[in-house]
Amino acid sequence: MIEAPDLSLAALAPLLFVFGAACVGVLVEAFAPRDVRHPVQVAIALVGTLGGLVTSLLLAGERQVTAGGALAVDGPAVFLEATIAGLGALSLLLFAERSLDPARSAFVAAAAVPAGSPRDRELMTAPRVQTEVYPLATFAIGGMMLFVAANDLLVMFVALEVLSLPLYLISGLARRRRLLSQEAAVKYFLLGAFASAFFLYGLALVYGATGSIRLSAIREASAGEAGGGVLLVLGLALLVVGLLFKASVAPFHAWTPDVYQGAPTPVTAFMAACTKVAAFGAILRLLYVAFGTSEWTWRPLVYGIAIVSMVVGAVLGLTQTDLKRMLAYSSIAHAGFLLTGVLGYGSGPDGTGSGLGPTMFYLLAYGLTTIGAFAVLTLVRDGDGEATHLSQWAGLGRRSTLTAAVMALFLLALAGIPLTSGFTGKFAVFRAAIDDGAWPLVLVALLASAVAAFFYLRVIVLMYFSEPAVDGPTVGVPGLPTTLVLAVTVTATVVLGVVPGAVLDLAEGAARFVG
Amino acid sequence: MSDFPFLLAMIAVPAVGAAAVTALPKGREQTARQLSLGVSLVVLLLAVLATIAFDVGGERFQLTTSVSWIPDFGVDFALGVDGIALVMLLLIGVLVPVVVVASWREEPTGRRSMRAFWAWLLLLESLMVGVFAATDVFLFYVFFEAMLVPMYFLIGSFGGPRRQYAAVKFFLYSLVGGLVMLAAVIGLYVVSANELGEGTFAFDALRQVEIDPGVQKLLFLGFFVAFAIKAPLVPFHTWLPDSGAEAPIGGAVLLVGVLDKVGTFGFIRYCLPLFPDASRELAPYVLVLAVAGILYAALLAMGQSDMKRLVSYTSIAHFGFIALGIFAFTTEATTGAVLYMVNHGIATGLLFLVVGMLIARGGSRLVGDYGGVAAQAPLLAGVFLVAGLASLALPGTNSFVSEFLVLIGSFPTRPVFTVLATVGIVLAALYVLLLYQRTMHGPPRGVLLEPAPEAPAPTTGGGGGATAATATLEAPAAAPARLRVRDLSRRELAVAAPMVALVIALGVYPQPLIDLIEPAVAATMSDVGADPAGVSPEAPVEGTD
């Protein structure tokens, strides 16, 4: 006789909301007439993600394992689900912006039409807009939320694919510079497929070593085995590689600059913020829950990779001349800083790693800032679309004081200057790491921050202290969605820098894994 | 009266002023200036009132305010001043209005609005007050770093021709130092958490923590690097001449007058009391840097052709004296050092201002572009002379008292270093008098020469340091040369007069300031475990430069 697995629908409400919205979106795409599709799709996607946000906030304090033990609904899961849903909603708003591009959308009207063909040129000026991106992005958001809540490796793998496949697709949908965008999508897909394969292989090895795919069971099995076993360590390494790829941590970062540059900017914002949160959520859960007792196996690995990532991100960032690529390297460096927080494991009792709360706070702060920064990028345009080359930003402070000021704020936050959210986050993760004795790592991190500060400053220098070019880009007047995104992200960047107490409390209070 | 939150007000008033200036509609330049002057005078008034409310014989920290800020980090928004911080606040209070008046006619380069200049200036004042008034190490760090942003924009937007380079260099040097300090700040917190059970950033609590000597040395170095870059001591100094030369005059005055003092203030407030063992052990090395700075910077100052760079180098030499006084560990020397911090702000501030007035007339920063100005502009030359003499610490000027105290206080514990430092006094006389002689006396020459009658060209501009150095050196072949230079205007007199008065007054009667400073210094000396009578337990002579 087969027993039905226990299933708490209330605890799954955030996921149900988002996946539900995605499914409805697919139906709308099939049945609704073309001229009403756009507003309807935007509304459905927003309702889904905001519903996910609200329900996950309502779940705060919940601690249980449900769906037959496959899903964990605990502090970190709920906090990160809310973060992903919130950041996802902001990204969707950027998707929905229609007043910046003269072609009314950042997305190609018909992705299947070959780039440069007569039909493509025809569509360039047509009023038709793409609406499939909304259900696709909503599926990705759902996948991410599932990813951070997955309590066994197989569900984690399924979530990884659910979040990845739509991302591969929407990276290739840029309306302008289509070939670059398609190249980015293919590159992302190929490398992403490799990473998935790594993950799957690691899963198999871990299953072989421990006889279970349940995280808590792996924990028990690995604790029992004194040496950990070659299979287990190898499996762990492969799993971590798969996850680090998604988190764009060097040396698994090769795709990041190309994909960030090629993808439509709203999609880049979405990837930079949400994918990072999801990937780190999974890394935290895997390392803390499944391998929390065999910390020695992953600690040196993560330690080394954190250093590599910070150094690679900061140093290569210096040489970039394209703002989107620069922000990509910045995101690699930030991934290194985040790993510093992950290393702050161990000083707290019963799995409440002291690095967990700070890392989650950092993810939220970084996500908000980075979405804001990419939103500003969508505003600065010339006849050829977005003007992302550094030289085109010369004298922007003169052209549009407000845009330049907002960008300067985001850059200072990314550089970690006090009174911005970036500083609070950095301080929190560095404190956790030093607490755990990793002060050499923190010194490296601080030096990397100083190097990275140089390229953020360079943009500020260009915007404020340089004379504007004669045929420079113009600053578009954002419509309601982008304005809303900028307002939220600016406010959050300042508030989380000046009075971060409440949110820090929330993250700290949520920092307990179940299982 | 002493319940009034003076310090909070001194932070809030300029910050609100900066916001108000930003909010002014375009074109209201006059209003922006007046508002800035008003705000800075209010801060001066508050500083004076705070000094009156301060009880010299009372608690170490007074006028305290404390609000919990980030409870998760154990951070409080805690303000309070001892005598040392209080005199620095007075210095800020005096310098900012003077700078505002001195920058009154500052013209923006390009099409920038001057409103931004006033707003950044006021924001800088607010943060400068905060950095001296903070009694929470985290809060101190926040102000320390945040202070960079307004200064960065002041240099970068309103500076000289190489302002971009100077601004970035300034920011990166300070940021690197600050980040190293951040590591030490976090380390300090973790150490305090291990010792006290609960981590804290409160200065008073941290002072009680016994730190292992090895850890102490690391933490000391973390703080020291940040402060040595800020102050700047010699191997970390290269940013200052660039920033000092490229900053607008008002910015330069605040940069060397106040901002850099955060470094020496940090030595006294944080390095010595928190890490006494490390301070004692590492003091000889610091003294080597200090004395090297005195001599090296003085020599470099003599070689400068750019007046603003020259003044910047003299500052580096003076910071050597201050560091010598601090790390000699006697109450006398350290009191002298703190007094030096104030006096240097006034003397070098005045020197920068008067150099700025000269540059505003000639449009060139080069020493060689001026000569014989004294004959045409006696007031200008007079103020120049007073500023110069104050910089070389002539008896009767304010700097003499402090330099004398430093030297006489350091001699008992560190005779070799002190004797070497006195060589710096001779060098100071050389670079100041050479500068004065070349620009003010001798035959008229340079950019201020009256042009030939048929080709009149405006030679007097209000460009400040902002205009480029476009020196035309061809002199009229015939006819006795005459300079065309106007003497000090009433506005410029209003800038110079209070500063000259302070130079003389503090030179003749420094006692009130010493009374304010000494108890705080004595408390610091007892923290560091030095014998206040002046005899150090250590062997007095170690490696020299």
ipTM of the modeled complex:
0.84
- Which residue in chain A is spatially nearest to B74 when comparing CA positions? A501
Residue of A417, A434, A465 lying closest to B190 (CB–CB): A434
Least confident of A121-130, A347-356, B58-67, B367-376: A347-356
Residue in B closest to A450 by C-alpha: B176
Averaged pLDDT for residues B129-136: 93
CA distance B117 to B128: 16
Q: What is the pLDDT of residues A73-107, one digit of tens each?
A: 988 999 999 999 999 999 999 999 888 877 778 88
Classified as helix, coil or strand, A48 is helix
Q: Once rounded to an integer, what is the mean pLDDT over residues A380-396? A: 86
Cβ proximity of B194 and A436 under 8 Å: no
| % of chain B beyond a pLDDT of 90 | 35
Chain segment A227-246, per-residue pLDDT in tens: 558 888 899 999 999 999 99
Is the pLDDT confidence value at A129 over 60? yes
* Mean pLDDT, residues B415-435: 90
Nearest to A142 by CA among A193, A57, A84: A84
How much is the average pLDDT of B322-333? Answer: 90
Domain parsing of chain A, residue ranges: 13-509
What distance in Å separates the CA atoms of residue A62 and residue A249, rounded to the nearest whole number? Answer: 31
Alpha-carbon Rg of chain B, whole angstroms?
23
Arithmetic mean of pLDDT over chain B: 85
- Binary contact (A428, B73; C-beta < 8 A): yes
Please report, rounded to a whole number, the percentage of residues in chain A having pLDDT higher than 90: 53
B186: nearest Cα among A300, A451, A429: A429
* Separation of alpha carbons B485 and B366, rounded Å: 16
- Please give the C-alpha separations between residue B165 and each of A466, B171, B239, B243, in angstroms, as whole numbers: 12, 10, 10, 9
Question: B358-380: per-residue pLDDT in tens?
Answer: 888 888 888 888 888 888 888 99
Q: Do A458 and B168 touch (CB under 8 A)?
A: yes
Residue A456: its pLDDT value, please?
92
Percent of chain B scoring above 70 in pLDDT: 90
Please check whether residue B198 touches A, CB under 8 A.
Answer: no
B495-514 pLDDT, tens per residue?
899 999 999 999 999 998 88
Among the partner residues A423, A434, A449, nearest to B186 by beta-carbon distance: A434
Q: Is the pLDDT of residue A352 over 80?
A: no
Q: How confident is the model at residue A1 (pLDDT cuts 50, 70, 90)?
A: low
Which of the four pLDDT bands, split at 50, 70 and 90, describes residue B70? Answer: confident
Q: Is B116 on the interface with A (CB under 8 A)?
A: no
Residue in B closest to A501 by C-alpha: B70
Q: Are B390 and B398 in contact (CB under 8 A)?
A: yes
Q: Is B504 on the interface with A (CB under 8 A)?
A: no
Among A405-419, A494-508, B429-443, B471-485, name the one with the lowest average pLDDT.
B471-485
Residues of A in contact with B175 (CB under 8 A): 415, 450, 453
Asked if B276 has any chain A CB less than 8 Å from its own CB, the reply is no
Asked if B175 is an interface residue toward chain A (Cβ–Cβ < 8 A), one would say yes
* Cα–Cα dist B71/B59, whole Å: 26
B24 inside 8 A of chain A by CB: no
Distance of alpha carbon A307 from alpha carbon A333, whole angstroms: 9
Residue-level pLDDT at B539? 39
- Give residue B255's identity as a one-letter amino acid code: L
- Does A353 lie at the interface with B, CB-CB under 8 angstroms? no
Q: What's the whole-number mean pLDDT along residues A389-410?
A: 89
- Residue scoring higher pLDDT (B1 or B389): B389
pLDDT tens digit string along A200-215? 999 999 998 888 889 8
Q: Give backbone dihedrals phi and psi of B77, rounded to 5 degrees, phi first.
A: -85, 80
- B233–chain A nearest CA distance, Å: 21
- The tokens 């607008």 sit on which residue? B248
Mean pLDDT to the nearest integer, B243-256: 89
Helix, coil or strand: residue B76: strand
Predicted local distance difference test score (pLDDT) of residue B383: 92
3-class secondary-structure state, position B135: coil
- Whether the pLDDT of residue B540 is over 60: the answer is no
Contact B61, B121 (CB under 8 A): no
- Calculate how close chain A gets to B511, using CA atoms only, in Å: 39
Higher pLDDT, A220 or A482: A482
Query: What average pLDDT score do residues B147-167 get?
Result: 87
CA–CA distances in Å: residue B129 to residues A255, A271, A308, B10, B315: 47, 42, 40, 7, 21
Residue listed under structure tokens 């910077």: B297
Q: Which pLDDT score is estimated for B545?
A: 39
Q: What is the pLDDT of residues B431-480, one digit of tens each?
A: 999 899 988 888 888 787 776 555 444 444 444 444 444 444 444 445 55
| Cis preceding linkage at B25, omega within 30 | no
Residue B172, chain A, CB below 8 Å: the answer is: yes
Query: Does the distance separating the beta carbons of B111 and A450 come in below 8 Å?
Result: no
pLDDT of residue B348: 92
Whether B357 contacts B409, CB under 8 Å = no
Residues ≥6 apart with Cβ < 8 Å to A459? A323, A326, A390, A393, A407, A411
Which residues contact residue A140 at a Cβ distance below 8 angstroms, ignoring those fewer than 6 apart? A162, A163, A164, A166, A167, A170, A270, A274
Q: Span B232-261, mean pLDDT?
A: 89
A116: pLDDT strictly greater than 60: yes
In angstroms, the CA A354 to CA A422 distance is: 19
Residue B136 DSSP symbol: B
Residue where the block lists tokens 């390009």: B110
CA of A431: which chain B residue's CA is closest? B186
Say if A113 is an interface residue toward chain B (CB within 8 Å).
no
Q: Is residue B272 predicted with pLDDT exceeding 70?
A: yes
Residue of A356, A442, A446, A449 to mutate when probing chain B, most B C-beta within 10 A: A446
What proportion of chain A, given as a percentage, has pLDDT over 70? 97
Q: Token digits for B341?
A: 């911090």
User: For the segment A363-378, what is each residue's pLDDT rounded down to a tens digit?
Assistant: 999 999 999 999 999 9
What is the pTM (predicted TM-score) of this model?
Answer: 0.89
Amino acid identity of residue B405, one-letter, is: L
CA distance B230 to B173: 8
Q: What is the pLDDT of residue B467?
A: 42
What is the pLDDT, as a whole number, of residue B465? 42
pLDDT single digits (tens) B92-119:
999 999 999 988 877 665 556 788 889 9
pLDDT digits (tens, 9 = 90+) for A281-307: 999 999 888 887 777 778 888 899 999
Q: Are B83 and B61 in contact (CB under 8 A)?
A: no
Nearest to A286 by CA among A203, A354, A194: A203
